[in-house]
Amino acid sequence: MKTGAFFSIGMAVTALGLVLSAQAIAGDLTKETRYQFVAKDSSAETKICIAAGSDNSSALKRKLVNYDHNMRFGVNSISCNGLSLAQFAHQYQALQSFQFLERHSSIANRVKTKVSIIDLAQKSESGAPIIVMVSAK
């Protein structure tokens, strides 16, 4: 039998869990619309860059498997806006793509960790996604 104190603690924990779940879902929705990637050309490498930055890991894997060279060569040789594929995915918070690419990247192409302070509320003024022009090297 639940007493009043235990029942209120249980309700508080449940309410806290619902609030955290709602914040996580809202965070995921805002992440998806934060960046819009636009290709500067129609090359296969640029399409791979867009898949990496958009966090579309299934399309990224499919494009890398179908790339002219082997997957590890593609991951380490394609450059997106001057960054390696893993660094590009990391810069635009594409976590699933980043985790996949980091496993296949050489040491030189991995993300070098550093501490920095960033503006978490960065948005375009109209609330629309930030447009990023993408080109593969």
Tell which residue, 89, 16, 105, 8, has the closest CA to residue 48: 89
Please measure the distance between the N-terminal and C-terminal CA atoms of the chain and give it in whole angstroms: 67
Can you give the residue ranges of every domain in the chain?
1-32, 35-112+124-137
Mode of pairing for the β-strands spanning 79-80 and 83-84 = antiparallel
Contacts of 10 (CB under 8 A, 6+ apart): 2
46-96: per-residue pLDDT in tens? 999 999 999 999 999 999 999 888 889 999 999 999 999 999 999 999 999
Q: Which CATH architecture has domain 35-112+124-137?
A: Alpha Horseshoe (1.25)
Amino acid at the residue 104? H
Close Cβ partners of 66 (under 8 Å, ≥ 6 residues apart) = none
Query: pLDDT by residue (tens digit) across 34-43?
Result: 899 999 999 9
Contact 69, 123 (CB under 8 A): no
Three-state DSSP state, 35:
strand
pLDDT at position 19, please? Answer: 37
